Amino acid sequence: MVRELADYEKALHEARATEEQLREALFGERPAVFAHIAETESGEVAGFALWFLNFSTWRGVHGIYLEDLYVRPQHRGGGYGKALLRELAGLCVERGYERLEWSVLDWNSSAVDFYRSVGAVSLDEWTVNRLTGDALRELGGAQ
């Protein structure tokens, strides 16, 4: 499903994670990411949410950063995405986390509309920044 999501987001060429890397991140000695799977009544996997903890220095508590929310096309509109978001929001409430955050591609109007329908607010004044590849290695001291 990770590759399905990357293809949907027009970035399949960037999806290089291996099953072993994901297995280690999710189920290794010190898991760094967590996942929830949505299944149909018959047990078919309909979608997933992959997330990790972040921290707000202003609020002094952790939050959840939703890295990926994906529902397979044939299951969209069936409530699976909302159920996954509801589960993560419930974890935030239960654990005293004050934020559930994620990014969405601006061209993905159906996702933007869906997120607004559950009360999410776009933080238009913030711009995501990213270092990768040569720029990351250069700044990190590897020539």
Task: Based on the residue annotation, tell me whether 70 is a catalytic residue of this protein.
Answer: no
46's tokens = 């309909």
Q: Which of 70, 80, 97, 115 is catalytic?
A: 115
Distances (CA, A) of 30 to 5, 24, 26, 55: 26, 8, 8, 18
Residue 77, classed as helix, strand or coil, is coil
Strand partners, 64: 53, 100
Task: Report, as residue numbers or ranges, the catalytic residues.
Answer: 115
